[in-house]
Amino acid sequence: MHKVKKIRMNNTLLIIANVTNIHTHRFIREFRLRGWSVRVLSPQPPNRINRREFGDAIIRLPANAIYRCLVKLPQLRYSEFHNINSGVKWYEPYSITTLFNYAYLILSIRRIVKRINPRGIFSIYLTMNGFLAALSGHERIVCSAAGADVSIHEKRSISYWINHPAILRIAMKKAGMVLGFDRDTFEPLFKKKGCGTDNIKWMPHWGVETNRFTPRSDFKNPNCTFICSRPYRMQFDFESILLALKRIYQEGNDIQFIIASGAQSEKNLKPLVQSLHKTGCVGMGFIRILGHIDYEKLPALQRQCDVYIDPINIRKSPETKGWGVSGSLLEAMSCGLIPVISRRPGFDWILPNEAISFVYNDFENGLYHALKKAMQSRNDLALRMSMRNAVIQKANWKKNLGTINDFLTGKPAGDR
């Protein structure tokens, strides 16, 4: 049992983050274990599951009248699992109410924070949540940066204005500590946006709960199961993955490809079906598309699999260059899966030497060979345990949360 020393004095922690996101849930639970009384300020509206689990911890924002009217239209209702489905269309009530909430919070954040009087503020993402934290005027703020914060976008895009460099600079300047992943990748991107990096605490990742994401005892499988469990994004290159696996399947190999990335959403299912048609994979028996999976059930699913496929292709979508290492990759490795990844910045730190042969140079020429090599190596127990051990050693959830906790409690830097 993990024993945590209780915090004295004012122990209220304000988390500014999307309350529908599973990583927000992880932070809420962990900080509670460490003695904090947690309040959550979410620009995104909570769903029934959030309200049932976190209840009074969620700060309720005024319900906008326009939103209340729009939500009555069945064709505009948002999914209960919109966080799993990777966002929604701009005209849906979920997005409309989020825009209203951001505007309200920009005007009201100081009053809200003064009323709560937290000992510290923790925000997931610098823009826009870190920007809201900066406007609060609070003296003890920790912000966690992500790939979306530092990615470079065209000035004509909506993403550019949402992640505008000026917003990022304000958030960076006011934060006492910024969590940055993979210094070699992130630091040049921060500097390109005109941000100082003196207050960044470089750590590889938030980390994985390795006691939950564990491997099965016997890796020997007659067939090979591939999985992509990263939340679906339009920028991911599923077509190249499907073509490579189709080729392996048609060679007579007994394989299965599990797509567990929120493809059940109508918004995401349509482009995925188009990819199936384009690659000639419609009706092929090796493809299995899953519906919503509770995060608590994800470890059991990962244990059934042998190879994790990372879908990022920076040649196809250059903005993904700063996206770094995903939690789903670390969770898969913690379960002993072999990772197949295209060569790009930001992942070298986590891979053991044994994994280098599964890193390929481009989707067009290297993916097929890397997948086939991983399939042939799937019953190598030592190889697969090296993947798990790398996560245990380099992506320690408890240790990283201890660093954040120490700053929020005012522990001197030399004692951390």
pLDDT in tens, 66-109: 666 766 666 555 443 343 333 434 345 556 777 888 889 999 99
CB 58 within 8 A of CB 33: no
Per mean pLDDT, which of 263-267, 309-313, 406-410 is the most reliable?
A: 309-313
Q: Which long-range contacts (CB under 8 A, 24 or more apart) does 94-98 make?
A: 94/44, 94/45, 96/64, 96/66, 96/67, 96/70, 97/45, 97/64, 97/67, 98/43, 98/44, 98/45
pLDDT (mean) for 116-136? 93
User: Which residue reads 């879908």 in tokens?
Assistant: 311
CB 327 within 8 A of CB 374: no
pTM for the model stands at: 0.79
Pick the CATH number of 12-207+396-415 from 3.40.50.300, 3.40.50.2000, 3.40.1190.20, 3.40.50.10860: 3.40.50.2000
3-state secondary structure 22-52: HHHHHHHHHHHHCCCEEEEECCCCCCHHHHH
Please state which architecture CATH assigns to domain 224-394. 3-Layer(aba) Sandwich (3.40)
266 against 126, higher pLDDT: 126
> Could you give the CA distance from residue 274 to residue 289 in angstroms, rounded to a whole number?
14
> Could you give the CA distance from residue 35 to residue 6 in angstroms, rounded to a whole number?
5
pLDDT band for position 232 (cuts 50, 70, 90): confident
User: Per residue in 268-311, pLDDT tens?
Assistant: 677 888 889 999 999 899 999 887 777 888 999 999 999 999 99
User: Per residue in 191-231, pLDDT tens?
Assistant: 888 888 888 888 877 889 999 999 988 777 789 999 998 87
CB 329 within 8 A of CB 339: yes
Per mean pLDDT, which of 5-9, 53-57, 77-81, 317-321 is the most reliable?
A: 53-57
Give, rounded to a whole angstrom, the gap between the first and last alpha carbons of the chain. Answer: 23
DSSP strand pairing (359-360 vs 37-41): unpaired
- Rg (C-alpha) for the chain, rounded Å, is 22
CATH 3.40.50.2000 in the chain is located at 12-207+396-415, 224-394
pLDDT tops 50 at residue 379: yes
> Could you give the CA distance from residue 257 to residue 305 in angstroms, rounded to a whole number?
9
